[in-house]
Amino acid sequence: AVRQPYRELDLPFATSCQEPNVDAPRENAAIVMLARNTELEQALHSIVSIEKHFNQWYHYPVVFLNDEKWDDVFIETMKETVSGEARFEVISKEDWSYPKWMDQEKAKQSIAEQGRKGIIYAGLETYHHMCRFFSGKFFTIDALRDYKWYWRVEPGVDFYCSITYDPFAEMEKNGKVYGYTISLWEEEATCPSLFRRISDWKESHLLRTTELWKAMLAPSWVPWPFRSLMSWFGHRDKHGDAWSLCHYWSNFEIGSLDFFRAHQYQSLYQSLERSGGFYFERWGDAAVHSLAVAMLLDPHQVHHFEDFGYRHDDFYQCPANAPDGQLLDSELLGKTSNKHSPEIQGGIGCRCECDGTKTSNVPGYCLAKVKQPTTNKKLGILEWAKSW
Ligand code: GDP
Ligand code: MN
């Protein structure tokens, strides 16, 4: 078999059902859901799903965020359903609005114009606020200040497999910083100048420090595991403007708040904010997070939760079931193969309630892109650094 070294960077944390280790210390972590009062039914659906498949064993707190005051029914319903602490927080007007300096009339005109052009969600002022919030303020709000890890969940999603280990603990143990399930191509019309803005920031803030030193000190022989993921998203610039549009879908994320709160990411966010693109274009937080992760982290710090069954809207990931309760051993090799990771024989999901033999991360998604080995010499660190 062809060796696929990139897999070794990021194996699933488990390839079978585990006995939930309920006595293990918990991480400093929270499940976080942004929702509207009107989404009670969908929000409940997601919470029931994550409780059933995970939180019934681990009882992590769930923090609900809203830009408006929470309805009593929402609060009562969730308190009854969440097995850990349920907290209800309201986002400040400042964090859910235009930046102070922005000409709001102009921004509103632009939003209307983007709507007329048919750019997805771009005619909705609140959607712009939401994307801006998730790109920046989310990580620094008081409500999340005391946590290190967050697991983002949206209303109306499904988890299909039992998650019998603690993903926060595994992220910590394995030196991971950002975890995802599905990766997709971004709609180009939402972010024509995003990549250029990011490259501008990199040019002025990053290149001269970290990456240039790396390139000078250790040009072509920087071991590939330590090359930035940026090359996996496709790159060019300055200003050949290219990015494949592949990104991690952010309605599911398990990530380190510390990473996003730290100076580098916040500096990047501030510079994106100043450029106005959260309103004059419709930059999604998924694209922003992904490009930042690709630029600032090493590949081994990113984790694909390929053993999680997950659906948002019509997009889903469904792993084939691992033999329940058993470790995958050589006896099983060759009987089935995992569609995401053909080099892992057998299923990797635990008690998945979806058909993992038929469904998978669909070819239209760009998973293959983010997981491809960085064999292309052109994408090595030296050329990459020079190209910026
Ligand atoms: P999509 O996933 O991109 O199709 O967008 P959604 O409509 O699902 O919105 C993404 C997330 O933001 C969900 O968690 C929504 O509940 C939340 N959201 C979007 N707009 C608003 C809003 O105006 N107020 C609040 N409180 N939440 C919102
Ligand atoms: Mn959604």
Q: What is the pLDDT of residues 266-294, one digit of tens each?
A: 999 999 999 999 999 999 999 999 999 98
More confident residue, 107 or 297: 107
pLDDT band at 369 (very low <50, low <70, confident <90, very high): low
In the chain, what are the domain boundaries? 5-307+369-387
Is the shortest distance between the CB of 35 and ligand 1 below 6 Å?
Answer: yes
Q: What is the pLDDT of residues 4-15, one digit of tens each?
A: 445 567 889 998
Q: What is the pTM of this model?
A: 0.88
User: Which ligand 1 atom is at minimum distance from the Cα of 127?
Assistant: 20
More confident residue, 212 or 139: 139
Cα–Cα distance, 9 to 184 (Å, whole number): 21
CA of 95 to the centre of ligand 2 (A): 20
CA of 5 to the centre of ligand 2 (A): 34
Is the shortest distance between the CB of 67 and ligand 1 below 6 Å?
Answer: yes
CA of 242 to the centre of ligand 1 (A): 29
Is the shortest distance between the CB of 155 and ligand 1 below 6 Å?
Answer: yes
pLDDT band at 295 (very low <50, low <70, confident <90, very high): confident
Is the shortest distance between the CB of 383 and ligand 1 below 6 Å?
Answer: no
Question: Which region among 15-19, 104-108, 333-337 has the lowest average model confidence (pLDDT)?
Answer: 333-337
Residue with the nearest Cα to atom 27 of ligand 1? 35
Separation in Å, CA 14 to CA 6, 166, 167, 261: 18, 10, 10, 29
Question: Which region among 88-102, 184-198, 201-215 has the lowest average model confidence (pLDDT)?
Answer: 201-215
Q: Decide: 352 and 160 in contact? Cβ < 8 Å.
A: yes
Angle at which helices 285-296 and 194-201 pack, to 10 degrees?
30
CATH architecture of 5-307+369-387: Alpha-Beta Complex (3.90)
Which uninterrupted H or E stretch holds 377? none
Ligand nearest to the CA of 74: 1
Q: Residue 288: CB partners within 8 Å, gap ≥ 6?
A: 131, 135, 194, 269, 272
Q: What's the token pair of residue 224? A: 């590939």
pLDDT band at 194 (very low <50, low <70, confident <90, very high): very high
The per-residue pLDDT for 81 is 98
The per-residue pLDDT for 285 is 98
